[in-house]
């Protein structure tokens, strides 16, 4: 599943290609988006900007030449497990068949295509602020507005939940998925299965801080003026230069821990059965 870093980079690439551009063509086979387009056509409007909020991608559109925020509409998409946005220069060969795109936004220079996008909604800003599912700017680990102390409080308030589940709650802090959850817990030597009420405040602060650091480290690489079309990318949480040693625990079941040599374990955690990797020696679970 794309995590916060992937969505951030996707938003950056889409924003670079589309921001300030007039939409020349718009098509969607998703009912709610198509309905919004019927009510007021997106074609002819301008893309104001594209931003990410945790795992949500927001494309802000407005009638050309209008500054009034109340006239803006926000196309919000969530990729869940399999969705992705691609950006192509006009005329460039697409990596997937065109008729598989569920949303297409065309400008004079670029085309953006959403493939297997499972969730797409259109909001005004008033509606978006009421939407509980979409994180606020200050809850997003990758935004300058991120409020770490408030996130620590929200994390500690999940007291009877496990650390792993609480970290995945996007309203506690937005952007962490299975990979960063596993890697951050390992880096902080905290068991993902410990109950939050067993955490000390410095531990909670450490988890929030490390989540932010690792997400940021994975979006630093910027492509400059180049627009990156979608492609797989490799995350790194260790400092190793060896590409085969880029992660501490994720995906390494049965392999030796990079710190202590013990076999890494894997389990499906919580109601969502979210995959979690950890080292039983470096991250001992406190006795209840």
Cβ-proximal residues to 231 (8 Å cutoff; 6+ apart), any chain: none
> Where do the DSSP E strands lie in the chain?
25-28, 45-53, 56-63, 73-78, 84-89, 101-106, 110-115, 119-123, 265-269, 274-278
Residue nearest to Zn ion (CB): 257
Alpha carbon distance 22, 6 (integer Å) = 25
The reply to whether 264 sits near Zn ion by the rule CB under 5 A is no
Per CB under 5 A, 279 contacts Zn ion: yes
Return the bridge partners of 86, or none. 113
* Nearest CB to Zn ion, comparing residues 166 and 279: 279
Name 74's bridge partners. 60, 123
Q: Which of 48, 87, 172, 282 binds Zn ion (CB under 5 A)?
A: 282
CB of 261 to Zn ion, least distance (A): 7
Catalytic residue among 55, 121, 161, 195: 55
- Does 249 interact with Zn ion (rule: CB under 5 A)? no
- Residue 6 or residue 237: which is nearer to Zn ion going by CB? 237
Packed helices 148-156 and 201-217: angle between N→C axes, nearest 10 degrees: 130
Q: Is 202 a catalytic residue?
A: no
Minimum Å distance from CB 212 to Zn ion?
24
Question: From the CB of residue 172, how many other CB atoms can be counted at a distance below 10 Å?
Answer: 25
Cβ at position 103, least distance to Zn ion in Å = 44
Q: Quick check: helix, strand or coil at residue 5?
A: helix
Q: Which CB sits closer to Zn ion, 129 or 189?
A: 189
Least distance to Zn ion, CB of residue 187, Å: 12
Return the range that interacts with Zn ion (CB under 5 A); candidates 21-29, 155-163, 242-250, 259-267.
259-267
Q: Cα(22)–Cα(224) distance, rounded to whole angstroms? A: 23
Stretch that binds Zn ion, among 7-15, 114-122, 197-205, 252-260 (CB under 5 A): 252-260
Give the three-class secondary structure for 226: coil
Task: Please pick, among 3, 106, 111, 183, the residue that the annotation labels catalytic.
Answer: 3
* Residue 74 near residue 81 (C-beta atoms within 8 A): no
Residues facing 256 on adjacent strands: 263
Q: Which is nearer to Zn ion, 158 or 179 (CB)?
A: 179
When asked if residue 176 is in the footprint of Zn ion (CB under 5 A), the reply is no
CA atoms within 13 A on the CB side of 236: 14
Catalytic annotation present for 55: yes
Stretch that binds Zn ion, among 47-55, 82-90, 114-122, 261-269 (CB under 5 A): 261-269
At its nearest, how many Å lie between Zn ion and the CB of residue 97? Answer: 45
The sign of the CA dihedral 232, 237, 242, 244 is negative
Q: Which of 257, 274, 275, 276 binds Zn ion (CB under 5 A)?
A: 257
Asked if 231 and 243 touch (Cβ cutoff 8 Å), the reply is no
Listed ranges 67-75, 151-159, 214-222, 276-284: which one lies at the site for Zn ion (CB under 5 A)? 276-284
Residues that bind Zn ion (rule: CB under 5 A) add up to a total of 7
91 or 244: CB nearest Zn ion = 244
280 is catalytic: no
* Distance (Å, whole) CA 171 – CA 176: 11
Active site residues: 2-3, 55
Q: Which residues bind Zn ion (CB under 5 A)?
A: 257, 259-260, 262, 279, 281-282
């Amino acid at each position: 599943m794309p995590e916060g870093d992937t969505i951030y980079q996707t938003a950056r690439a889409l924003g670079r290609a589309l921001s300030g551009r007039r939409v020349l063509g718009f098509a969607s086979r998703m009912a709610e988006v198509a309905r919004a387009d019927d009510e007021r056509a997106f074609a002819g409007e301008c893309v104001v900007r594209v931003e990410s909020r945790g795992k949500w991608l927001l494309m802000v559109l407005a009638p050309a030449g209008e500054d009034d925020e109340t006239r803006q509409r926000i196309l919000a998409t969530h990729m869940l497990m399999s969705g992705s946005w691609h950006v192509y220069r006009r005329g460039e060969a697409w990596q997937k068949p065109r008729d598989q795109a569920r949303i297409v936004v065309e400008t004079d220079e670029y085309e953006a295509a959403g493939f297997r996008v499972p969730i797409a909604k259109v909001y005004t800003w008033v509606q978006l602020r009421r939407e509980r599912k979409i994180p606020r700017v200050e809850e997003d680990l990758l935004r300058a507005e991120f409020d770490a102390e408030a996130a620590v409080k929200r994390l500690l308030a999940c007291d009877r939940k496990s650390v792993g589940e609480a970290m995945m709650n996007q309203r506690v802090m937005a952007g962490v998925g299975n990979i960063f959850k596993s890697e951050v817990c390992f880096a902080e030597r905290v068991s993902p299965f410990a109950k939050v009420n067993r955490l000390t405040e410095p531990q909670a602060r450490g988890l929030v801080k490390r989540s932010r650091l690792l997400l940021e480290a994975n979006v630093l690489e910027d492509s400059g003026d180049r627009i990156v079309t979608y492609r797989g990318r490799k995350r790194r949480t260790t400092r190793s230069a060896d590409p085969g040693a880029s992660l501490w625990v994720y995906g390494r079941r049965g392999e030796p821990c990079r710190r202590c040599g013990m076999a890494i374990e894997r389990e499906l955690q919580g109601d969502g059965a979210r995959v979690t990797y950890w080292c039983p020696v470096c991250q001992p679970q406190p006795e209840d």
